[in-house]
Structure 1
Amino acid sequence: MLHIENLHAFYGKSHVLHGVSFDIQPGEIVSLLGRNGSGRSTTARSIMGLVDCKGKIDWKGQSILDKKAYQIAHLGIGYVPESRDIFPTLTVHQNLLLGQKGKGEGSRWSFDDMYAMFPRLKEREHTEAGVMSGGEQQMLTLCRTLMGDPDLIIIDEPTEGLAPKIVELVGQYLQTLKERGISVLLIEQKLTIAMDISDRVLVMGHGSIVFTGTPAELKADAYTRREWLEV
């Protein structure tokens, strides 16, 4: 589904990614782990056409390397940035409406699905998003992206700064996506959630992939955890 090969990314003269390669299959949850500054978010931004890069990024057999972010989104890749980027003066319902692709016809997801997944959003349906808590805004951002009916969602640090109860809800959200056949690239620092829900985990260090395997294989690899993950 998504194929990345020998990807190099740059911020000006700064060379950030060094030959990153991996694949994501339909209905698969892949977690991209690593310390801050390892290149995880840059990988996500590169896939979405937001960073200067070279190499190979194919989506369903089609190169998307030189496409704009909105074109990539229309091809079926959703992106939830770490900054959340809700529209603060619009209500919850209006934010979700903006996420719809076209008129929402034929979508796998409805407003009722979003409100069933996160009942708190239903309670805040007519509330301006800017006055909501960080956890509520994260729920909204996840659901707004889903309203675009993507086949792959890239989610950058969805549990950062959230209360344990909300983290649990996010984990359930990701499981729901998998059950409906949607692929997920999860960028996360919390090993617990990544190890619980992932089919495969990738570990980044200094702009390169330093480990690829199952959660069980990473759990058994004390060297990789100590060298590239633990503080």
Structure 2
Amino acid sequence: MAALLEIKDLHAYYGKSHVLHGVDLQVGEGEIVSLLGRNGVGRSTTVKSTMGQVDVTGSIKFKGEEISGLKAFEIAYKGLGYVPENRDVFPTLTVEQNLILGEKNGKGAKKKPRWTLDDMYQMFPRLKERQHTAAGVLSGGEQQMLTLCRTLMGDPDLIMIDEPTEGLAPKIVDLVAEYLKALKNRGISILLVEQKLAIAMEISQRVYVMGHGAIVFEGTPDDLRANAAIRKEWLEV
């Protein structure tokens, strides 16, 4: 399988603080890969670094092209989407206005995007019901749906999603899992940062486990199920 995203020997810094220590990671075309680990081990920093938001050394290649050192908007135009953990919606704009802002226009835009407003509303009927509502008054689950959909409107080939199920009701968590599988079926690769082991194990083809800013395990969900020592040391509370 061709690597769409390939990270090698990635080191990241917040000022003088050295957070990532030589991370190697890749995501293939049409693949869901989960990045697991406890809070504070560097998972969010890994995706922020990939999106050009953190000072790094090392190599980050997307579609074979080095993107380390580019600005976030330049990386987005190349087809890399990012859904942050804090659900950044524009609170005073309506649901529909938020989605339209996500569309890729101008330089770097493809002729025909894969996704339309109707696609978003079909996938999440709740957003259609709330299309004229200000995003700031949506529930946490609705804001999560909106952030995911707004990123999709930019027509990414790979989407990095940071803790999409954090703080959501179990029913909405199941909906998000189905949504991620639907994206994969439409040819979009996913790098998922997730605390809920059950979801990651259900939908991923491969998993990485992080500890102290480094990758401590790489394999299939079955490999991780069979490795009690890794689970106990790096995942279980």
Q: In structure 1, what is the equivalent of residue 35 of structure 2?
A: 32
Alignment of 1:72-111 (within 5 A): 72-102=75-105, 105-111=111-117
* Runs of 5+ consecutive residues of structure 1 not aligned to the other structure: none
Q: In structure 1, what is the equivalent of residue 120 of structure 2?
A: 114
Runs of 4+ in 1 over 2 A off after TM superposition: none
Matched, 1:69 2:72: yes
Matched, 1:213 2:219: yes
Q: In structure 1, what is the equivalent of residue 50 of structure 2?
A: 47
The secondary structure found in structure 1 opposite 2:195 is coil
Q: In structure 1, what is the equivalent of residue 143 of structure 2?
A: 137
How much does 1:209 deviate? 0.2
How much does 1:23 deviate? 1.1
Q: In structure 2, what is the equivalent of residue 11 of structure 1?
A: 14
Q: Distance in 1 between matches of 2:155 and 2:73?
A: 14
Length-normalised TM-score, structure 2: 0.96
Q: Distance in 2 between matches of 1:140 and 1:80?
A: 10
The secondary structure found in structure 1 opposite 2:10 is strand
How much does 1:22 deviate? 1.3
How much does 1:100 deviate? 0.3
Q: In structure 2, what is the equivalent of residue 194 of structure 1?
A: 200
- Could you tell me which amino acid in structure 2 is paired with residue 156 of structure 1? D
Identity %: 70
How much does 1:206 deviate? 0.1
Length-normalised TM-score, structure 1: 0.99
Q: Which whole-Å deviations, capped at 9, do the CAs of 1:54-101 have from their partners, x for residues lacking one?
A: 000011111100100000000000000001100000000000000000
Q: In structure 1, what is the equivalent of residue 171 of structure 2?
A: 165
* Runs of 5+ consecutive residues of structure 2 not aligned to the other structure: none
Q: In structure 2, what is the equivalent of residue 20 of structure 1?
A: 23
Root-mean-square deviation over aligned CA pairs: 0.9
Q: Which of 47, 56, 61 in structure 2 is aligned with 1:58?
A: 61
How much does 1:168 deviate? 0.8
